[in-house]
Amino acid sequence: MVDKILAEYGAVVLDRNAKRLVVQVDDKQLRPLAEKLFESGFYYANGVGVDERGLGHDFAMYHVFASEKDKLYLVVKVSTSNLKLPSITPVIPGSNWAEREAMDMLGLEFEGHPEPERLILPDDWPKGVYPLRKEFDYNERPEFVERKPESTPQRTDVVQLPLGPYHPALHEPEYFEIHVDGEVITDAKYRGFHIHRGMEKLAEGRLTLNQVPFLAERICGICGFTHSIAYCQAVADAAGLDWPERAKYIGVILLEIERLHSHLLWVGVVFHLLGFDSGFMHMWRIREKVMDIAEALTGNRKTYGLVLIGGMRRDIDESRKNWVLKTLTELREETERVSKDIFGMKELINRIKGIGVLPKEDARALGVLGPVARASGIDTDVRRDHPYLAYDKLDFKVPVYPEGDVLARLLVRYDEIIESFRLLEQALSEMPQGDVMIEDYTIPSGRVGLGATEAPRGEDVHFVITGVESKVYRWHPRAPTYNNLPSVPIMLRGNNIADAPIIIASIDPCFSCTDHVAIVRKGKVIWKGPLGEGVKQVGR
Amino acid sequence: MGRFGLIFKSIAKGRVTEKYPFAPIELPEGFRGKPEIDPEKCIGCGACATVCPPSAIQIHVDEEQGYKTIDLFLGRCIFCARCEEVCPAEAIRLTKEFELAAASEEDLHQVVKLKMAKCAGCGRPFDTVRHLQFIAEKLPEEQKPMLALCPDCRAKLASKILTVAARRHR
Ligand code: SF4
Ligand code: SF4
């Protein structure tokens, strides 16, 4: 089916394997092709601008589309010699941020973009300096320009309520400006990217291929390991490496341990936000044992540091297997027992039922991912749709709830906790013997690779172009909150102000991963320009 | 059962918080704590510095004094154990120690200073004595003299030998 569409728009196949396809199209064909792909079930997964002058080409934009139905990642490349490209945001809203990111970082121009404003670079960053161009050194510090203070006009018709820049529960910098009419939220704006860390530049400029996994693991303070796996899978994809079976099972075990502790942490935080601290304590009591398992298996509670391009650095100690299995069984029973008591508390359930609703259509247009998508009736899971590691050999269910409210998001994650226990039991008992690492490999340069994993918060997509001398030419990780955050303003509208913290927390946001400003209403961008301007627009 | 179930659970479980720091904490085998370099064993090969992702280990060469220093700065270390993995002399290893608070930054540096050998050709210090000894143990007897030369002089000598051999061949 895809091939037919691609042929129709004159796409040239550059590289293909069973899981992903790289094609190049003419810039005139890009927008109609993107529209067609969106109509036939693809969502927008990642967008990467690349300065390809070092490879003997021009500048290029790689749009990555994904389809659960076709079980395929489709990488569409468009080149430009004059920095101008057509924007596809008018046909796929999900590409909004990715295009603006390429604008900021590389100086590409997207014609027809509804909101061509800065996203990532701060206001005091000089114009015309593009950090991801190759001539910009990783340790260069440009002269900052004077920043004009924003005059935020006070509105008299609505009350503007700032939430942030630190979230009361998540201790991370984000800023929501909430407009309320009485108790009811009429609109919300998000502003972020306060903590962009320039990781891509660091990786391209200073690190070697096998050092990047350790940086990738630090993208997130909770689910970092899945990033390091996604990166290594991307390089392995570019070089055509296939890990030993045992390494794949170890990967699954650690990823599911990570999901368990991440979900248990989130459930705890949600209870805490609801003022239900004993539930919070119980969840974190259980989680602590999961951390112990991680520590025993990897040498650390959180940063496992176990993966390199060729596979796993260390094997799992077989003598600990029985202890791990026994502990997991106990923890599962404990989780089920405690949760039964908690779900039996009607006041708690009624508190989160029917609030923060995200309709399915909005979710899809924005490319919402992971548990947030599954709670809005979208049946998606990278582990099942684009199997990696050993997931194709394991049996698990993908929970989907159609309600789209905070309760549904809780239930999805609860079901996933139970499924993770099942996956762990299977993987630990079925794990084959053998090597855990391939030592002998060469990485060809100038090759495109894609790695995708189902992180606890949704799909992580890492895009890599290999370079010379054991370096990455380009690395672009995309964390799930990048896609999920734009849906929060939709969830907030029409709800009571008292529900805002729990609604924001319900996407399990991770700002340091995302760090990126968008104002979206019903999937459409309603505002362009600085925040102060945006405030003026609302209510018109 | 609802909330009463939870109350019973809490009573049954009692206190679960660890007594740390008033009691020691149990750490599993293989825990990755502070790395330590054994100055007796380190040969100054620099392999650890090459792999170290955050450049916590840096090598400095003092040509005038003829010393090479291996400087491990714990303030940058991410406890990944890559250094331990590549060290050919088993000189650096990760310990179980994790309490790293220090009163001054200097206390977070471990410095190993090793004497360098001078090149028999140009007289420039080019490698640590220990590293050369380490390589010498693995080399066949006839190649050992080459170790007295720095890489530049070695290359010059090699090309000289080749030219001589080529002339003879003619
Ligand atoms: S443990 Fe890792 S970060 Fe620390 S010194 Fe060794 S290689 Fe460097
Ligand atoms: S011997 Fe070990 S510790 Fe010393 S420089 Fe080499 S790798 Fe580093």
pLDDT recorded at residue B142: 84
Closest CB to A341: pick one of B1, B51, B80: B1
Ligand 1 pocket check for B91: Cβ under 6 Å: no
Distance in angstroms (rounded) separating the CA atoms of residues A465 and A50? 9
Judge if ipTM > 0.90. no
pLDDT, greater one: B158 or A401: A401
Specify the number of domains making up chain A: 2
Same domain, A417 and A310: yes
Nearest to A257 by CA among A224, A215, A235, A218: A224
Contact B6 A338 (CB under 8 A): yes
Tens digit of pLDDT for each residue in A72-120?
Answer: 999 999 999 999 999 999 999 889 999 999 999 999 999 999 988 888 8
pLDDT recorded at residue A520: 34
Say if residues A388 and A233 touch (Cβ distance below 8 Å): yes
Q: What residues in B contact A337, CB-CB < 8 Å?
A: 5, 9
CA nearest to B28 within chain A: A296
Burial degree of A7 (CB within 10 A; 0-12, 13-18, 19+): exposed
Burial degree of A141 (CB within 10 A; 0-12, 13-18, 19+): exposed
Distance in angstroms (rounded) separating the CA atoms of residues B20 and B28? 16
Which of A78, A95, A117 terminates a domain? The answer is A117
- Asked if the C-beta of A295 comes within 8 angstroms of chain B's C-beta atoms, the answer is yes
Whether A513 maps to a domain, the answer reads: no
Distance in angstroms (rounded) separating the CA atoms of residues B88 and B134? 9
Same domain, A438 and A293: yes
A407 CB neighbour count, 10 Å cutoff? 21
Tens digit of pLDDT for each residue in B49-76?
Answer: 999 999 999 999 998 999 999 999 999 9
Beta strands in B3-161 (DSSP E): 35-37, 57-62, 67-73, 92-94, 109-118, 125-128
Same domain, A467 and A333: yes
- Asked if the C-beta of A282 comes within 8 angstroms of chain B's C-beta atoms, the answer is yes
Torsion, Cα of A526, A529, A532, A538 (10° steps):
-10
Q: What is the pLDDT along chain A (540 residues), one digit of tens a residue?
A: 789 999 999 999 999 998 999 999 999 999 999 999 999 999 999 999 999 998 989 999 999 999 999 999 999 999 999 999 999 999 998 899 999 999 999 999 999 999 888 888 888 889 899 999 999 998 888 888 887 655 556 667 778 888 777 665 566 677 788 888 888 888 887 777 777 888 999 999 899 999 999 999 998 888 899 999 999 999 999 999 999 999 999 999 999 999 999 999 999 989 998 989 999 999 999 999 999 999 999 999 999 999 999 999 989 888 889 999 999 999 999 999 999 999 989 999 999 999 999 999 989 888 899 999 999 999 999 999 999 999 999 999 999 999 999 999 999 999 999 999 999 999 999 999 999 999 899 999 999 999 999 999 999 999 999 999 899 999 999 998 888 888 888 999 899 988 888 898 888 877 655 543 333 333 344 333 333 333 333 332
**ω into residue A371 within 30 of 0, thus cis?**
no
Same domain, A112 and A250: no
The CATH number of residue A20's host domain is 3.30.460.80
Nearest to A66 by CA among A34, A44, A49: A44
Closest CB to A338: pick one of B9, B32, B78: B9
Q: Which residue has the tokens 């090149």?
A: B119
Q: How far is the CA of B17 from the centre of ligand 2 (A)?
A: 40
Whether A263 maps to a domain, the answer reads: yes
The CATH number of residue A360's host domain is 1.10.645.10
- Asked if the C-beta of A139 comes within 8 angstroms of chain B's C-beta atoms, the answer is no
Q: How far is the CA of B87 from the centre of ligand 2 (A)?
A: 5
Nearest to B91 by CA among B133, B127, B59, B45: B45
User: What CATH code would you report for B31-168?
Assistant: 3.30.70.20
Contact A210 B51 (CB under 8 A): yes
Distance in angstroms (rounded) separating the CA atoms of residues A31 and A95? 12
Whether A154 maps to a domain, the answer reads: no
Q: How far is the CA of B82 from the centre of ligand 1 (A)?
A: 6
pLDDT recorded at residue B22: 93
* Domain interval for residue A307: 199-505
Distance in angstroms (rounded) separating the CA atoms of residues A460 and A481? 9
Domain boundaries, chain B: 31-168
